[in-house]
Structures are given as structure tokens and as C-alpha cells.
Amino acid sequence: MSAEQASPLASTGFRWLLLYRICTLLSYQVVAVTVGWHIYEITGSPLALGLVGLAEVVPYFCIAPFSGYLVDHLPRRKLGAAACVLLAINAGVLALIAADVLPLHGTWPIYLAVAVGGIGRSFLGPVYNALFARVLKREQFGRGASLGSVVFQTGLVLGPAMGGVLVGALGNPVAYAVGTAFALLAAGTLLSMPVTEPALPQQRGPIFASIAEGARFVAGNQIMLGAMALDMFSVLLGGAVSMLPAFIKDILLAGPEALGILRAAPAVGSIAIALWLTRHPLQRHAGRVLLIAVASFGLCTMAFALSRHLWLSAVLLVLYGVCDGVSVVMRSTIMQLVTPDEMRGRVSSINGIFVSSSNELGAFYDGVMARLLGLVPAMLVGGFVTLGVVGVTARLAPRLRRLDLRELH
């Protein structure tokens, strides 16, 4: 059996890497859900909830470029394990605060803990992507990226559900403690992973010059930059998930139970297409498929805005998730194939900034546009602008448009 035909799951190192990824996702998601509930219990303020995301994303953006540099210049498993321990300490402190063991009151210690968690999270993606290339052969990168996407989306579904159940049944301290346990398990997984790490650089250049080198590499690679920008702007401008509570209440006139259905629908679509791509990885016309998928993402957003039936909205969000899943797998595969091993940390950190920009800033953009234009017009405009982004990308990045992944192996 050729390396391309062999399942990535045949690699013991890759199985351990996926376990690390699901554990970090579950830890982060359980803690995120619990923090939201905890903050709202204290304040009763939606603005206080919004500040949770800000408290995390600001330190993440500040640290991410340096985390990529460190991943490229220090032992990756030890660095990732240290980041997981930082997440565990963060969740453990929150558990002690929630249990009134620590004499800290108000919201500031919670926001501070969230900020520390944002610092730890900035290392998780670069460590994962750097080790990914050490446990798989290049011919397996496409299928491996699909399986990684399956695990990622599964964590996005299971984590919030687990967090909600734990908070409701056992309370905030126990939920935080479970998040701590998952983070420690992730650290142990990394340290136990059978993988040969590359030799560390004998000489380290100036840190800012090294970070700039990674940025120049991304900016000078039309295929990678086009894929990252396409993914970022489509989610930033055409995302629908952040506005689901308002859409369900004001447009579909449904109850809170509908939120669970619609929140899960995009993940169902993403998991389905990622599983399909593990058996049928994209090769020929990959760039064309990516552009069509992102354009379809925008059309699904517009159709969702016009839907007035819950079942139709759910189907459209499944298709929305399928289109987003194609984009995620393609971006991950391209990044793995074109990035030199000695730059994986820095390139992955830049990718993480793109992704976080689209998710965190996209939610803010959606809220502002909904306030200015109204909920439905804002979503229609977002979908329409996404189509424009696809057209501009196809025009300015012809190498991405003509991409055949076989040429990158």
C-alpha cells in the first residue's frame, strides 16, 4: 500500500496528536461555556459576556507571533505541554474562585484568568501544526487535515454540550475542574507522543527579524495568502452563527431549544464533508473547488437570512457547514504542504491570527451591522460581499484559482 493510500490513523503519532487536539478543545470549550454562565450569574449583563471574548483575544493577538517563534526554536512537545499546564492552572484557579476558596470577588479575577488562558491557547495551534508534519508523510497531509477537521468540529459540538451539562448538574467548580483535567491529559499526551522532533537551530536570529521572516513568507506565497484571506473574509463578513440567538427569537419566532439545533447544524455539515474528504481527498481543480465552496458559503448565508422555517434554516446551515468545512480542510492542507518545517510555528501562528480575526471580530462586525441595517439586511449584505471577495480573490490570486494539489507534493 502506498503512503498516499495508507490511512493517517495507521500512524501511532498521529493518533496521539488527535487525542491532544480533542483534549485541548474540550478543556477550552468546557471552560468557555462555564465562564460565560459564571459571568452572567454575577452581572446579568450581556456587555460583560462580550468582554469575555475581548479579554481572551487581546492577549492572544499580542502573544501569537512570539508563540510561533518559540515553537520553531524550542522543543515542540515540551512547549505544548507547558501551554496545556497553563490552561490547567487557569481552569483550576477559576474552580477555586467559583468555590469561594480564594478570597477574590467580582469579575476582574475571572477576566484575568481568561486572559491567561488566551496566552496558553496561542501555542496550541502552532504546536499541533508543527507536530502534524512530523507524524505523517506529505502524501497523507490531505487526508490527515480532513481527520483533524473532524476532531476539531467534534470538539466544538461536544465541548459546549458537556460544559452546559456539568454546570447545570454539578455546578461551576466541578465544570472548571473537568476543564483542568482535560488540559492535564493533553499535556501528558504530548509528552508521551512517539515522534522525532527536528534538530533545533544552532543559531537564533533576532526574534523580530525571525517573526518578520515568517510574515514575508506568507505574504509572498500567493496560494497560501489567498487561501487564508479567503477563509478569513468569508467568515468575517458572511458568518451567520453569531447572530443565531437574535435570528431565532425575532425572525423564526422559536424558543431556546431551536438554538441547540441550529448551532449544531454547521458542525454536522463540516464533519460530514471532512469525513468524505478523508476518503476522497481533493487533488485536481482544488483551487476551483475552494472558490466555489466559499461562494456557496455566501449564498447559504443569504438564503438563511431569507428563510422563515426552522427546518429549512437547519438544512441551509448544514450546507453552510459543508462549504466552510471544504475551506478549512483546504487551508490546512495548503499550509502543511507549502510551509518549510523550520517555519511551521511562525506560519501557523499567522494562520491562527487570521482564524481568530474571522471568528472574534466577525461576531463584533455582525452585531454592528445588525444594529445599523437590521438583522436580515445585514446578513444579506454579508453574503453578497462574500461573493465579491471570491471574485476579487480569483482575479488577484490566479495561482490559487488554478491550484492542483498534486503540484505541491
Mean pLDDT of 364-392: 82
| pLDDT at 315 exceeding the cut of 90 | yes
Mean pLDDT of 213-223: 77
Q: What is the pTM of this model?
A: 0.74
The model's confidence at residue 396, banded by pLDDT at 50, 70 and 90, is confident
CATH topology of domain 10-193: Growth Hormone; Chain: A; (1.20.1250)
Of the chain, the percentage scoring pLDDT greater than 90 comes to: 13
Are domains 10-193 and 207-408 of this chain identical in fold? yes
Q: Dump pLDDT digits (tens) for 79-134.
A: 889 999 999 998 999 999 888 877 777 777 888 888 888 888 888 888 888 888 88
pLDDT value at position 50? Answer: 60
> What is the per-residue burial (b if ≥16 Cβ within 10 Å, else e) of 360-371?
bebbebbeebbe
Average pLDDT of span 262-269: 81
**CATH number for the domain running over 207-408:** 1.20.1250.20
The string of pLDDT tens digits covering residues 267-280 is: 888 888 888 888 87
| Least reliable range by pLDDT among 9-13, 27-31, 104-108 | 104-108
Q: What is the pLDDT of residue 203?
A: 54
- Averaged pLDDT, 280-302: 87
Give pLDDT, residue 1. 46
Domain boundaries, the chain: 10-193, 207-408
- Residue with the bigger pLDDT between 292 and 339: it is 292
Which is more confidently placed, 230 or 409? 230
Residue 320, C-beta contacts closer than 8 angstroms, at least 6 positions apart: 240, 265, 266, 269, 297, 300, 301, 304
Mean pLDDT of 256-273: 76
pLDDT tens column, 74-83:
788 888 899 9
